Amino acid sequence: MSGGGSRQSGSADDARIPADREQEHRAVKRSFRTRAIHVGNEVDPQTGAVVPPIHMASTFQQPGAGKWGTFDCSRSGNPTRGNLERTLASLEGGCNALAFSSGMAAIHGVTMILRSGDHGVAGCDLYGGAYRLLHKICNRSGISVTLVDMTDSSAVDAAIGNHTRLVWAETIGNPRLTIPDLHELARITHAKDALLGVDNTFGTPALLRPLEHGVDIVMHSATKYLGGHSDCLGGTLAVSDPQLYDELYFIQNATGAVLDPVSSFLVARGLKTLDVRVRAQSETASHLAVWLQQHSRVKQVFYPGLPTHPQHELAGRLFEGGFGAMVTFELDGSIEQTARVCESTQLFHLAVSLGAVESLIEQPATMSHASYDAADREKFGISDGLIRLSVGLESFEDLQADLDQAIEHSL
Ligand SMILES: Cc1ncc(COP(=O)(O)O)c(C=O)c1O
């Protein structure tokens, strides 16, 4: 492996992987929860520590001039980051994974596959930061992007042209929680020789593994559920195709937005409890969605677990063990009243981001989606009355009471 980026695709024969352990996990088909704890977390051979140490070294001694060992420059590969990447690859069911310094760095890594003159198609129910990257940065390099409703397969098909190389969707759209049909998107995208990448941040690999549904690249903001405790930034990509991995690895190594060792450790620690956390948070979210739907001051609730959600059946086929822990609802009130509700909760913190143990509340129009042009916000239904909840691990009863008092006091 060299600092020049000659590392080859990750597979069981990658020099950093204790091949016997990896093969053992694959052979006995260990469960998601077991692999989250054991893959990439092997006992340290030097000390017997059951938690692998954090390797802070920025460079590693080489066997000779021009000779490369397993590690050299920490940007090109780091043992702690490598452990996390192995865990992720196993959980996503991919050949390998890459850990980036943030979710946006990971999405940017994907967009760097595109060249001047290329075209991308992305969902219109899209995180505001991704919208900004696609419309206000990628366009500087001659890349054009069309936003379409990812739940409308014929609209996606029509938007893909001769120069389209990438279709980008969120597995649970943001903030309206729309669900695209991944099989259908993969079929349409591949028929036109483009790549399908998805942001599975809201879905998490505990509930949905897009590579199993024909997706080429799955991305996460590890800042959210993977880390799970609002204490680190990170982003990940996982793929099934070794050649695509090599291309993304080359981009990451050449541009340098890698995850640091401490954050790699924190995300790896978060992954050990991901399945338990996400299932519990999803259950509370579904109770809150049902309760909100019956609230007299709530106009509409967006939650894939509700039978009234337009893609409820599809979500039931794609997701295992829950419909996620994000709930969006529209209040029957003005922008000021909506803001007041967000400012009046005591347990839900008023903050962007999501996916951690503490519940968060936000107003998409003025916060997570403020970087949308106002016209696009209106066109895509990001109304002033929308409130987005990230449901944490507190009890349902406490969260319900908190929301109830905030709504009653503010409207
Ligand atoms: C769905 C989604 N994708 C990507 C990102 C960007 O991730 P990060 O904040 O780690 O850069 C976010 C951030 O909120 C997000 O919500």
Domains of the chain, start order: 1-96+242-272 (no CATH), 103-222 (3.40.640.10), 275-410 (3.90.1150.10)
Q: Assign 3-state DSSP to the chain and report helix, strand, coil percentages, each to 5.
A: 40, 15, 45
Q: How far is the CA of 215 from the centre of ligand 1 (A)?
A: 19
Give the model's pLDDT for residue 411. 85
Nearest CA to ligand 1 atom 8: 103
Give the model's pLDDT for residue 10. 41
Ligand 1 pocket, mutate which of 223, 233, 266 (most atoms under 8 A from CB): 223
Catalytic annotation, pick one of 14, 72, 199, 216 = 199
Give the model's pLDDT for residue 87. 98
Regarding the beta carbon of 235 and ligand 1, being less than 6 Å apart is answered yes
Give the model's pLDDT for residue 344. 97
Is residue 117 left, alpha or beta, with left meaning phi > 0 and alpha meaning psi from -120 to 50? left
Q: Are strands 298-302 and 235-239 parallel, antiparallel or unpaired?
A: unpaired
- Going residue by residue through the chain, which has 411 residues, state the pLDDT in tens, using 9 for 90 and above: 433 334 544 443 344 455 666 666 666 689 999 999 999 999 999 999 999 999 999 999 999 999 999 999 999 999 999 999 999 999 999 999 999 999 999 999 999 999 999 999 999 988 989 999 999 999 999 999 999 999 999 999 999 999 999 999 999 999 999 999 999 999 999 999 999 999 999 999 999 999 999 999 999 999 999 999 999 999 999 999 999 999 999 999 999 999 999 999 999 999 999 999 999 999 999 999 999 999 999 999 999 999 999 999 999 999 999 999 999 999 988 889 999 999 999 999 999 999 999 999 999 999 988 888 888 888 888 899 999 999 999 999 999 999 999 999 988
Q: Give the single-character DSSP code of 98.
A: E
Q: Which residues, 6 or more positions from 74, have their beta carbon under 8 angstroms from its beta carbon?
A: 57, 58, 59, 60, 258, 261
Give the model's pLDDT for residue 20. 63
d(CA 225, CA 278): 8
Nearest CA to ligand 1 atom 6: 103
Q: Kindly report the CA angle at 39 between 234 and 42, in degrees rounded to 5? A: 105
Nearest CA to ligand 1 atom 9: 103
Q: How far is the CA of 57 from the centre of ligand 1 (A)?
A: 28
Give the model's pLDDT for residue 7. 52
Q: Kindly report the CA angle at 276 between 303 and 11, in degrees rounded to 5? A: 100
Q: Are strands 386-390 and 360-362 parallel, antiparallel or unpaired?
A: antiparallel
Regarding the beta carbon of 204 and ligand 1, being less than 6 Å apart is answered no
Q: How far is the CA of 50 from the centre of ligand 1 (A)?
A: 31
Nearest atom within ligand 1 for CA of residue 107: 4
Is residue 199 part of the annotated active site? The answer reads yes
Q: Give the single-character DSSP code of 258.
A: B
Is residue 127 part of the annotated active site? The answer reads yes
Give the model's pLDDT for residue 374. 87
Catalytic annotation, pick one of 7, 75, 81, 209 = 75
d(CA 141, CA 151): 29
Is residue 384 part of the annotated active site? The answer reads no
Give the model's pLDDT for residue 125. 85
Task: Give the type of residue at 329.
Answer: F
Give the model's pLDDT for residue 19. 60
Flag whether the pTM goes above 0.85: yes
Ligand 1 pocket, mutate which of 124, 137, 224, 236 (most atoms under 8 A from CB): 224
Regarding the beta carbon of 184 and ligand 1, being less than 6 Å apart is answered no
Regarding the beta carbon of 326 and ligand 1, being less than 6 Å apart is answered no
Regarding the beta carbon of 171 and ligand 1, being less than 6 Å apart is answered no
